[in-house]
């Protein structure tokens, strides 16, 4: 659950009202995919309380299949983010003590029939604790066995991890198993063990003939690598309200485009356009564009030039 200080521009410490929205990177990506005509099922755990039921009701409202969402009791709780809608010095307070999604087990990930899906998408947070880490790697194995691609959004959030060393080795393992890897320059630099060598790490991963790597550089656009092919794309400029949600929107736009058999370069641009739309609106899941909104946005602007 995301709680946004209301109205937009309000600081958390002076707020007297908050608006609630579905949150969490995986849920945001699933919503974005459904908004763009794809279908998505979320595999995770939620708490056995009103907040968990809120999350499930929101998934229903957005058309996300939640038949694989397990409910866990005890002290597990859904994560909560208290966020501001402003660009300068944006504050985001995250509560993840006893996070319900970290309670996902091997038994949970062995429930799906992976061959019935087009691919498995995960963000890096799922690897930050047990039992979800072991469960996620088991899901990777099952997706591989079913011949389905693994899409990995690095999404490194230091506060979720016990140590950088643990995160680095775990992410390296996940990246080697993935078919599509998306991350920003700092995340690839973290993988490389040297923030000046992030692009080298991305290129090394892309040497695998069937792997796609997207190296995002914020305002400088992205470098996409696929085997020996490498190209740069720019970003769509917009009047942003907040910095959050761009990465999730990019993933949704990018993957929905690939699923629709659009060319790789077009898929990256559509991901960039989706990101521009989401940062110009309040919240994340509610801001994910439909296919029509994305098409209209792109038609009203020239294709961005690489930085």
pLDDT digits (tens, 9 = 90+) for 168-199: 999 999 999 999 999 999 999 999 999 999 99
pLDDT above 80 for 282: yes
| 25-40+99-299 carries CATH number 3.40.1190.20 | yes
CA 10 vs CA 30, 241, 281: distances in Å = 28, 12, 15
Q: Convert 55-84 to b/e letters by CB count within 10 Å (16 or more is b).
A: bbebbeebebebeebbebeeebbbbbbbbb
CA 108 to chain centre: 21
Which two three-digit tokens encode residue 281? 């609106």
CB 132 within 8 A of CB 126: yes
User: What does pTM read for this prediction?
Assistant: 0.97
Residue 116: exposed, middle, or buried by beta-carbon count in 10 A (0-12, 13-18, 19+)?
exposed
pLDDT above 80 for 208: no
Counting residues of the chain whose pLDDT is more than 70, the rounded percentage is 100
pLDDT digits (tens, 9 = 90+) for 295-307: 999 999 998 988 7
pLDDT at 307: 74
CA 285 to chain centre: 11
Counting residues of the chain whose pLDDT is more than 90, the rounded percentage is 96
pLDDT above 90 for 75: yes
pLDDT at 82: 98
pLDDT above 80 for 209: no
pLDDT band at 137 (very low <50, low <70, confident <90, very high): very high
pLDDT at 65: 98
- Residue whose C-alpha is closest to residue 186's, from 173, 174, 176, 171: 171
pLDDT digits (tens, 9 = 90+) for 16-51: 999 999 999 999 999 999 999 999 999 999 999 999
pLDDT above 90 for 227: no
Residue with tokens 């939640």: 66
Give residue limits of the domains in the chain. Answer: 25-40+99-299
The whole-chain average pLDDT of the chain stands at: 96
pLDDT at 189: 96
């Amino acid at each position: 659950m995301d709680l946004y200080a209301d109205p937009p521009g309000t600081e958390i410490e002076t707020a007297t009202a908050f608006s609630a929205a579905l949150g969490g990177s995986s849920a945001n990506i699933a919503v974005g995919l459904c908004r763009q005509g794809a279908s998505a099922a979320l595999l995770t755990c939620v708490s056995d309380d009103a907040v968990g039921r809120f999350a499930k009701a929101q998934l229903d409202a957005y058309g996300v299949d939640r038949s694989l969402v397990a409910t866990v009791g005890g002290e597990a709780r859904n994560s909560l983010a208290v966020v501001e809608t402003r660009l300068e010095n944006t504050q985001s307070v995250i509560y993840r003590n006893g996070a319900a999604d970290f309670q996902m087990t091997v038994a949970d990930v062995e429930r799906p029939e992976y061959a019935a899906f087009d691919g498995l998408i995960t963000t890096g947070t799922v690897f930050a604790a047990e039992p979800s880490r072991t469960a996620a790697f088991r899901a990777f194995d099952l997706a591989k066995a079913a011949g389905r691609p693994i899409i990995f959004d690095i999404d490194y959030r230091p506060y979720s991890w016990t140590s950088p060393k643990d995160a680095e080795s775990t992410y390296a393992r996940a990246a080697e198993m993935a078919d599509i890897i998306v991350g920003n320059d700092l995340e690839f630099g973290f993988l490389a063990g040297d923030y000046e060598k992030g692009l080298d790490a991305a290129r090394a991963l892309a040497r695998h003939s069937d792997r796609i790597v997207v190296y995002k550089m914020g305002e400088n656009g992205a470098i996409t690598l696929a085997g020996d092919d490498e190209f740069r794309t720019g970003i769509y400029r917009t009047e942003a309200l907040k910095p959050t949600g761009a990465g999730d929107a990019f993933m949704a736009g990018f993957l929905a485009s690939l699923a629709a058999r659009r060319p790789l370069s077009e898929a990256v641009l559509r991901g960039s356009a989706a990101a521009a739309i989401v940062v110009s609106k309040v919240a994340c899941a509610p801001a994910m564009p439909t296919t029509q909104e994305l098409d209209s946005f792109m038609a009203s602007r020239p294709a961005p030039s690489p930085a």
